[in-house]
């Protein structure tokens, strides 16, 4: 099971249960059956097996409680939050110090809190689960907790901690494979995307796609790529990714928690085609009805700024007030910088107040969430221009455009400039992003660092260890470097790096 051969592990355990003398190992073997079913994307089967064990005659109380905690995990994965919480609370009460049971129960309670109301309480429960897991869990089991924790840190704008958590598990997830490897790459891609390192995000997507196809994460991974492609004005690339998203049938236990990514990618593509009504319909339906296993409005609070913006464009201030109230409720609970920023942006759009929008931009900058910061600055510039404060509007617009330029968000930049032209504001000095597709200037900072390590004679595994990223990610970076520099080998990369260094570039 550690090697990701889940079906084989389950079959072996089931066969062993039929052997004479299996009673001595019954509960350990049934544990393997349940875990393998869960991690191969069948939480329904895992739940049935776990509940059957709890109802078995002669099952020890400790084992019954341990399987109850696994039942809670299955229920959470199936989106049955109330049942999951009740089962987890019962297991927690009855654990009697059993570390695996406590780790599972706390993980479920943490996950339920993150789904219902992301905030410090959910994070503390996750950290407690990790502490118990460290005492007794099988290594593969800890990956689930660590990757969930990394996602929590990302949501709470604690990027350095998210990065450290991912760095701590990157080698282990590669060894374990299975669902953990694409989950690691998706987590890394989302952290990079949110913090504005889009090229790094695309590298993680590419590294995760092959295992993602086999372990039900391809929809989420391709959706990240589609979002970036739309923002960058690469419509054909976005369409190709979304076609692949539609063709995929991800049913993995983790994938269900990332169904908001295809939603957001499709809604953004709708807007890029000029179909704002369709975009609003998608987002509003998800906000009110849930998407995947994200059921609550507070969990989907990240949709509120776009919902307010699109609702106001239709003249529906009542709905805009409803979405704004939801954004405020989330921010009041969590005190997370980008949650607070979302609330300020919603209120600023509703009240037509540029000062609130600039405060939103400041909070987004603190997070950091550069794309959202640029959006808030664009909104503020438009309102300032409407108040005949053209000079200040131009300054704020240029700040937004500088961010879009760094991200390569050509579509957003063009849209922002067009919006401001209608109120007689034109951009100032144009910034430049490295628009090069080939040559040394096309390399990202991360790719240049990888090139320096290649020039130092280090292998991909050594570079992965030094940079705390996966070997697949390093391999993808090297492939990109070769393509951009039109080179054929690592020796040529080293030679080019040395030549550039000697020239002082």
What is the DSSP code string of 108-154?
A: HHHHHHHHHS-SHHHHHHHHHHHHHHHHH--HHHHHHHHHHHHHHHH
Given a cut of 90, whether residue 481 has pLDDT beyond it is yes
- Answer yes or no: are the C-beta atoms of 208 and 225 closer than 8 Å: no
Q: Please give the residue that has the higher pLDDT: either 487 or 424.
A: 487
Q: Please give the residue that has the higher pLDDT: either 239 or 213.
A: 239
Residue 87's pLDDT is what?
96
| Residue for token pair 């664009």 | 378
d(CA 100, CA 328): 37
Q: Exposure pattern of 168-189 as b/e (b: 16+ CB <10 Å)?
A: ebbbbbbebbbbbbbbbbbbbb
Range of lowest pLDDT (18-22, 274-278, 288-292)? 18-22
Residue 196's pLDDT is what?
97
Residue 175's pLDDT is what?
77
Given a cut of 80, whether residue 4 has pLDDT beyond it is no
d(CA 50, CA 35): 9
Reported as a pLDDT band with limits 50, 70 and 90, residue 210 is confident
Residue 72's pLDDT is what?
95
Reported as a pLDDT band with limits 50, 70 and 90, residue 251 is low
- Determine the average pLDDT of the residues in 492-500: 91
d(CA 162, CA 108): 20
| Residue for token pair 């019962």 | 90
pLDDT 10s digits, 34-56: 888 887 778 888 999 999 999 88
Q: Which two tokens stand for residue 442?
A: 């096309």
Given a cut of 70, whether residue 133 has pLDDT beyond it is yes
Q: Which two tokens stand for residue 480?
A: 């990109």
Given a cut of 60, whether residue 418 has pLDDT beyond it is yes
Range of lowest pLDDT (142-156, 220-234, 250-264, 393-407)? 250-264
Given a cut of 90, whether residue 170 has pLDDT beyond it is no
Residue 295, classed as helix, strand or coil, is coil
Residue 75's pLDDT is what?
92
Q: Which two tokens stand for residue 93?
A: 């009460």
- Answer yes or no: are the C-beta atoms of 76 and 112 closer than 8 Å: yes
Range of lowest pLDDT (189-198, 357-366, 431-440)? 431-440
Q: How far is CA 190 from the centre of its chain?
A: 4
Q: What percent of the chain has pLDDT over 90?
A: 62
Segments making up each domain of the chain, as ranges: 6-137, 296-432, 440-502
- Answer yes or no: are the C-beta atoms of 88 and 69 closer than 8 Å: yes
Q: Which two tokens stand for residue 260?
A: 């908001």
Q: Give me the CATH code for the 6-137 domain, please.
A: 1.25.40
pLDDT 10s digits, 108-123: 999 988 888 788 889 9
Q: pTM of this prediction?
A: 0.89
Rg of the chain (C-alpha set) = 25
Burial of 16 (0-12, 13-18, 19+ CB in 10 A): middle
Given a cut of 90, whether residue 345 has pLDDT beyond it is yes
- Determine the average pLDDT of the residues in 479-485: 93
Given a cut of 90, whether residue 83 has pLDDT beyond it is yes
3-state SS of 368-389 is CCHHHHHHHHHHHHHHHHHCCC
- Answer yes or no: are the C-beta atoms of 481 and 450 closer than 8 Å: yes
Residue 214's pLDDT is what?
65
The Cα-based distances of 172 to 32, 253, 462 in angstroms read 20, 20, 15
The closest alpha carbon to 74, from 30, 111, 27, 113, belongs to 111
Reported as a pLDDT band with limits 50, 70 and 90, residue 277 is very high
Q: What percent of the chain has pLDDT over 70?
A: 92
Q: Which two tokens stand for residue 264?
A: 């957001």
Given a cut of 70, whether residue 504 has pLDDT beyond it is no
Reported as a pLDDT band with limits 50, 70 and 90, residue 502 is confident
Given a cut of 60, whether residue 449 has pLDDT beyond it is yes
Q: Exposure pattern of 438-452 as b/e (b: 16+ CB <10 Å)?
A: eebebbbebbeebbb
Given a cut of 80, whether residue 216 has pLDDT beyond it is no
Q: What is the mean pLDDT of the chain?
A: 89
Given a cut of 80, whether residue 434 has pLDDT beyond it is no
Return the DSSP state at 430.
P
Q: Exposure pattern of 29-66 as b/e (b: 16+ CB <10 Å)?
A: bbbbbbbbbbbbbbbebbbebbbebbeeeebeebbbbb
> Considering the domain 440-502, what is its CATH architecture?
Orthogonal Bundle (1.10)
- Determine the average pLDDT of the residues in 217-239: 96
Reported as a pLDDT band with limits 50, 70 and 90, residue 215 is low
Residue 256's pLDDT is what?
81
d(CA 396, CA 403): 11
Residue 456 neighbours by CB distance under 10 Å: 12
Identify which of 149-163, 238-252, 412-426 has the greatest average pLDDT. Answer: 149-163
Q: φ and ψ at 133, to 5 degrees? A: -65, -35
């Amino acid at each position: 099971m550690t090697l990701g051969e889940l079906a084989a592990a389950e079959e072996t355990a089931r066969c062993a249960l039929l052997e004479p003398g299996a009673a001595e190992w019954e509960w350990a073997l049934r544990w393997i059956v349940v875990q393998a079913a869960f991690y191969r994307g069948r939480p329904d089967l895992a739940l049935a097996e776990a509940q059957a064990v709890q109802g078995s005659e002669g099952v020890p109380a400790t084992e019954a409680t341990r399987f109850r905690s696994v039942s809670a995990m299955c229920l959470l994965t199936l989106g049955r939050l109330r049942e999951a919480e009740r089962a987890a609370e019962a297991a927690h009460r009855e654990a009697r110090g059993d570390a695996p049971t406590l780790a599972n129960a706390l993980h479920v309670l943490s996950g339920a809190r993150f789904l219902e109301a992301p905030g410090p309480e959910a994070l503390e429960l996750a950290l407690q689960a990790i502490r118990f897991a460290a005492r007794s869990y099988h290594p593969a089991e800890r990956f689930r907790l660590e990757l969930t924790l990394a996602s929590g840190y990302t949501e709470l704008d604690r990027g350095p901690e998210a990065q450290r958590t991912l760095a701590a598990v990157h080698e282990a997830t590669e060894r374990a494979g299975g669902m953990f490897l694409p989950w690691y790459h998706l987590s890394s891609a989302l952290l990079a995307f949110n913090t504005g390192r889009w090229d790094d995000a695309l590298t993680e997507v590419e590294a995760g796609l092959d295992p993602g196809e086999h372990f039900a994460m391809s929809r989420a991974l391709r959706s990240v790529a589609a979002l970036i492609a739309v923002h960058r004005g690469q419509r054909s690339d976005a369409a190709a990714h979304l076609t692949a998203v539609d063709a995929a049938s991800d049913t993995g236990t983790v994938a269900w928690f990332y169904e908001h990514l295809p939603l957001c990618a499709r809604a953004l593509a709708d807007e890029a085609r000029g179909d704002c009504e369709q975009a609003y319909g998608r987002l509003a339906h998800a906000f009110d009805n849930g998407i995947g296993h994200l059921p609550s409005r507070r969990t989907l609070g990240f949709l509120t700024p776009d919902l307010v913006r699109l609702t106001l464009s239709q003249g529906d201030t009542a709905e805009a007030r409803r979405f704004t109230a939801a954004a405020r409720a989330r921010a009041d609970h969590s005190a997370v910088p980008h949650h607070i920023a979302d609330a300020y942006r919603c209120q600023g759009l509703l009240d037509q107040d540029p000062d609130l929008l600039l405060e939103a931009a400041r909070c987004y900058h603190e997070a950091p969430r550069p794309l959202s910061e640029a959006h808030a600055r664009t909104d503020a510039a438009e309102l300032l221009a409407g108040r005949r404060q053209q000079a200040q509007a131009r300054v704020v617009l240029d700040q937004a455009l500088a961010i879009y330029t760094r991200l390569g968000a050509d579509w957003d930049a063009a849209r922002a400039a067009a919006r401001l032209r209608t109120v007689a504001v034109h951009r100032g000095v144009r910034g430049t992003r490295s628009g090069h597709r080939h040559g040394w200037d096309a390399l990202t900072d991360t790719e240049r660092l990888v090139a320096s390590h290649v020039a130092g004679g280090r292998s991909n595994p050594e570079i992965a260890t030094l940079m705390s990223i996966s070997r697949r990610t390093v391999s993808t970076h090297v492939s990109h470097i070769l393509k951009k520099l039109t080179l054929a080998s690592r020796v040529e990369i080293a030679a080019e790096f040395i030549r550039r260094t000697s020239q002082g570039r």
